[in-house]
Amino acid sequence: MKLATIRVDGSTRAARIDGELATVLEDFADVGAVLASDGLSRAAEATGRTLPAADLDFAPVVVNPGKIVCVGLNYRAHILEMGRPLPDFPVLFAKFSDSLLGAGDDIPLPPESESIDWEGELAVVIGSTVRRASAEHAAEAIAGYTIANDVSMRDWQFRTREWLQGKMWEASTPLGPVLATPDEIPADAHLVTAVNGIEKQRSDVHDLVHDPAGLVAYVSTITTLRPGDVILTGTPGGVGHARDPREYLAEGDVVAVSIDGIGTLSNRAVAEDRP
């Protein structure tokens, strides 16, 4: 099953995507509300108003997650290109809900940064409350997966040893277009990031140092994870900052991140005026 959060009638609603049609789930403001009410079975059976999937205006798949936990250096190829050793433990940082954008939304390029980079990622969406989860319970707590673009302001990220200030910019992280339940993700699923139609990243989404269930178990040891929380699992090799010469996003660039079984997250970069 695939669920989305769409903008319709001046607000947001969850919707189930079935091929070329979307069924609006009138009782749920977003996918997070579906998960918080244990409403996946209701969503699967819902009938009612339908809209053409091609015309949808996507909001972030979870509009206001309580937690957005991000993992750095989790794909082997990306770790090697950044010149770092494989980590024994997940490298964690956080984002806030103000960072999120929907599929199709423009990515504002802040005037304060001159090195804005793309990072296509598989994102985990939590479906049940877990704390100190075992491996089995961690896997059961995953409602599904979506796509994220962890747009990073590299000059700010590397000002200090801590990355947060380069990762938490407002309206910097597209998330969507849909949540796909685990059965939708093929065993050979790949992530591909393209900028202006030119492929920049390609990797098997399963080639992680710390896999999704392991990340849920690890993070839930630190803090309770609740329905609608999101974990970004890291980016593969091919980011602009690691290229020679380095490449960064410019006004008008279109970044498309695709994952088999989920779809494509596509966003255009636009200059943000200095206030």
pLDDT tens per residue, range 172-213: 999 999 999 999 999 999 999 999 999 999 999 988 999 999
pTM: 0.96
Query: According to CATH, where is 3.90.850.10 located in the chain?
Result: 68-271
Number of Cβ within 10 Å of residue 6's Cβ equals 27
Mean pLDDT of the chain: 96
Phi, psi of 76 (to 5 degrees): -60, -45
Q: For residue 275, what pLDDT is reported?
A: 66
Side-chain-facing half-sphere of 70: CA atoms under 13 Å: 26
Averaged over 114-128, what is the pLDDT? 98
Averaged over 35-47, what is the pLDDT? 95
Say which range, 112-116, 179-183, 194-198, 270-274, has the weakest mean pLDDT.
Answer: 270-274
Q: For residue 78, what pLDDT is reported?
A: 72
Please tell me the class of the 68-271 domain. Answer: alpha beta
Residue 274 has pLDDT above 80, yes or no: no
pLDDT tens per residue, range 44-54: 999 999 999 99
pLDDT tens per residue, range 52-88: 999 999 999 999 999 999 998 899 877 777 777 888 9
User: What's the Cα-to-Cα distance from 269 to each of 44, 117, 251, rounded to whole Å?
Assistant: 35, 11, 5
Confidence of residue 165 (pLDDT cuts 50, 70, 90): very high
Reduce the secondary structure of the chain to three states and give it as a string: CEEEEEEECCEEEEEEEECCEEEEECCCCCHHHHHHCCCHHHHHHCCCCEEEHHHCCECCCCCCCCCEEEEECCEHHHHHHCCCCCCCCCEEEEECHHHEECCCCCEEECCCCCCEECCEEEEEEECCCECCCCHHHHHHCEEEEEEEECCEEHHHHCCCCCCHHHCCCCCCEEEEEEEECHHHCCCCCEEEEEECCEEEEEEECCCECCCHHHHHHHHHHHCCECCCCEEECCCCCCCHHHCCCCCCCCCCCEEEEEECCCEEEEEEEEECCCC
Averaged over 130-145, what is the pLDDT? 97
pLDDT tens per residue, range 250-261: 999 999 999 999
pLDDT tens per residue, range 220-251: 999 999 999 999 999 999 999 999 999 999 99
Question: Under a CB-based contact definition with an 8 Å cutoff, are residues 178 and 145 in contact?
Answer: no
Peptide bond into 245 cis (omega under 30): yes
Residue 131 has pLDDT above 90, yes or no: yes
| Residue 273 buriedness (CB in 10 A; 0-12 / 13-18 / 19+) | exposed
Phi, psi of 129 (to 5 degrees): -75, 130
Torsional sign, CA 95, 16, 257, 218: positive
